Amino acid sequence: MIRFDRVTKRYGHRAVVDSVSLEVRKGGLCVLLGESGSGKSTLMRMVNRMVEPDAGRVMLDGTDIANVPPESLRHGIGYVIQSVGLFPHWRVADNIATVPRLLGWDAARVASRVDALLQLVGLPPEDFRARYPHELSGGQAQRIGLARALAADPPVLLMDEPFSALDPGIRRGLQVALRRIHAETAKTILFVTHDVEEALLLADELAVMQDGRLLAHGRPAEVLRRDADPVVKRLFGEATLAFHRLGTLRAANAARPASATQPAEAQLPILPPDSNLKQALMLMLESGTDQVALPGGATLHLSDILAAA
């Protein structure tokens, strides 16, 4: 869907993005992770031509975007930034309607779309439509930012540290909302963050950047392998790398199937469905056992976790 083909961007003599090749598959949620100044935003902004590469090209659905006029390209790409950037003199409904109006939708279609989007991002339309941005909390404003980006139903969404300025609790809520919206709408999302926890929570695919170069790319479990690049290890924190890795592995894959010879003990704590090994370990620590039960009757032992990690 989005393909970077050896793209480079220089400011002065410094290559801020250095010959990066990366592909984000259709419907995927790819998280660009890296320290501040590693070139994540620059790479992301090449997709909607807010930054023009000095070398290489960016393909969108097989088309070289250099041949698409920037304005019409951007109408088809949702854009969410950390500071939100709602227009302060426009009501919430008008803010959300920005791109549909640029595309010339009629008023009735715009109005019903605005209400549907407010519902999608979890804000009651009748309460929020007519508000001005200064009447919103930070979390509400970013929900509106997300609704605005989704307004014309673009297939691609670019999100540049959208939740980084929010309090942890609010951020958590928005992350959950984004996962839900991604599952419902199957958008292709490129998501920039410097927060390891956030990256692991959201990513289908992880791309790790350092000094303008792509260090690692793949499913989170692959990126966090035991023999990962030392710089990747340092980025995730050497001490907690194994712990983070547990978060990328499904508990069901490491569990022992229910067997007749060893019937599951009735009083074992039960792990919720679709849990990962980190959650399994937390449950064991919490309940003081070395075994937990899975919903299907399978059991998971502490030694299974050690073997999988």
Ligand X SMILES: Nc1ncnc2c1ncn2[C@@H]1O[C@H](COP(=O)(O)OP(=O)(O)O)[C@@H](O)[C@H]1O
What type of residue is 287? S
Min separation Cβ 156 and another protein, Å: 12
Min separation Cβ 299 and ligand X, Å: 44
Please state at what angle helix 168-185 crosses helix 138-150, rounded to 10 degrees.
Answer: 20
- Minimum CB distance to ligand X smaller for 16 or for 254: 16
Distance, in Å, from the CA atom of 140 to the CA atom of 127, rounded to the nearest integer, reads 12
Q: Rule CB under 5 A: which residues touch Mg ion?
A: 41
- Binding of ligand X at residue 16 (CB under 6 A)? yes
Min separation Cβ 123 and another protein, Å: 17
DSSP 8-class letter at 25: -
| Number of residues engaging ligand X in binding (CB under 6 A) | 10
Q: Rule CB under 8 A: which residues touch another protein?
A: 48, 50, 70-75, 79, 81, 83-91, 98-99, 102, 132-135, 148, 158
Distance, in Å, from the CA atom of 300 to the CA atom of 265, rounded to the nearest integer, reads 12
- Minimum CB distance to ligand X smaller for 37 or for 69: 37
Residue 79 binds which entry of Mg ion, another protein, ligand X, none, with Cβ cut-offs from 5 to 8 Å by kind? another protein
Q: Kindly tell me the burial class for residue 168, based on how many C-beta atoms sit within 10 Å of its own C-beta (0-12, 13-18, 19 or more).
A: exposed
SS3 breakdown of the chain: % helix, strand, coil, rounded to 5? 40, 25, 35
For residues 220 and 203, is the Cβ–Cβ distance under 8 A?
Answer: yes
- Rounded to 5 degrees, φ, ψ at 267 are -90, 10
State which residue has the least CB distance to ligand X.
Answer: 41
Min separation Cβ 234 and ligand X, Å: 16
Footprint of ligand X on residues 119-138 (CB under 6 A)? none
What's the half-sphere exposure (Cβ side, CA atoms, 13 Å) at 284? 21
Residue 89 binds which entry of Mg ion, ligand X, another protein, none, with Cβ cut-offs from 5 to 8 Å by kind? another protein
Residue-wise over 193-219: b if at least 16 C-beta within 10 A, else e?
A: bbbbebbbbbbebbbbbbbbbbbbbee
- Minimum CB distance to ligand X smaller for 11 or for 87: 11
Footprint of ligand X on residues 67-86 (CB under 6 A)? none
Footprint of ligand X on residues 19-58 (CB under 6 A)? 34, 36-42
Residue 11 binds which entry of another protein, ligand X, Mg ion, none, with Cβ cut-offs from 5 to 8 Å by kind? ligand X
Min separation Cβ 57 and another protein, Å: 20
**Residue numbers of the site for ligand X (CB under 6 A)?**
11, 16, 34, 36-42
